[in-house]
Structure 1
């Protein structure tokens, strides 16, 4: 079951993700070997991704995330549906909805939302890592490895993603014997 080709990764970012502060942060993320510095840069990227001028949208996002954390996936999905309806160009709304779909086992829906995230913000390393998890859930290790590698190319400091990719490579090498 092939979900998504990663060929759209080079698509231009759309409204809301072209914040001028992001380019230097992504360069810093690539350029540092210091994990503490990388974590600080990653936090700044997340802050920008989460920004939105609409307070009502931010309240829905916060509530939806809390519901995800409380395992109230249907309620979280409803909140993220409202976020997307209010601003379909807000990449993080799509990303959070993809998370809800993934946690509910709605993998095809999660992939559709991840595709939208990546069209809006091609450097969204968390969405790529999430795509890798979806591929793992549907037993497509080759797709998972491609997604994890794409996430690591953007953010080489994702240790959990690196471990997953290494595990897949080891399993593939073992299967080839």
Structure 2
């Protein structure tokens, strides 16, 4: 699973369990319509001006860095910036949601995340966390909907881009998956696993066209 390298690894284990975390792609979508609704060509496009907000400078550094370990540190800094909502109330609700997920109290986790989204609908992290809980419940349609909302709020949210790419691969939409991975690498070019995904998909697509 592509998302395990980022700082919400503990939350993923709580939602999915250790075995599922190591064995499954980010989000599986059983219905073709759910994958189509992602509209990756639109939602995956990062904004042109990466220096207009608090993470802009970090993204500039991430795009320039070619050392994988150093890039991962920068990527985790970006995720850390996204995690901090700037509101003590929102941060507390998110902390409670994570604790509820750790204790496998999914109803409580939903409640805290729903409250967070109601109070701060533009907070991408809350949509993403709720998508994980939906996925853990087996509701891929709602997970996909929340994933789309994450990318609408923050198109550079690269863990969500990786999730979208994995969905598309799992439904044999490899050309679209390749485009999303390329968008991901435009933001995070030193990610070795993403580079491998792009290489593998490119070879697979070349084989089908020959």
> TM-score by structure 1 length?
0.79
Report what 1:15 is aligned to.
Answer: none
Report what 1:4 is aligned to.
Answer: 38
Report what 1:176 is aligned to.
Answer: 209
Q: Which protein has greater RCO, CA pairs closer than 8 Å, 6+ apart?
A: 2
Give yes or no for contact 1:50–1:92 (8 Å, CA) kept in 2: yes
Q: Between 125-134 and 110-119, report the one with greater CA deviation.
A: 110-119
Unpaired runs of 5+ residues, structure 1, are 13-17
Q: Deviations over 1:52-108 (max 9, x none)?
A: 233332233234335556666555334322221221011111121222233434333
Coordinate RMSD, CA, aligned: 2.9
**Partners in 2 of 1:72 and 1:139 — Cα distance?**
34
2:123 corresponds to 1:101: no
Please give the residue correspondences for 1:128-139 in structure 2 after superposition, counting only pairs within 5 Å: 128-139=161-172
1:37 and 1:143, CA in 2 relative to 1: closer, same or farther beyond 3 A? same
**Partners in 2 of 1:68 and 1:132 — Cα distance?**
25
Q: Aligned-pair distance for 1:146? A: 2.0
Count the aligned residue pairs: 174
2:107 corresponds to 1:85: no
Report what 2:194 is aligned to.
Answer: 161
1:31 and 1:96, CA in 2 relative to 1: closer, same or farther beyond 3 A? same
Unpaired runs of 5+ residues, structure 2, are 1-31
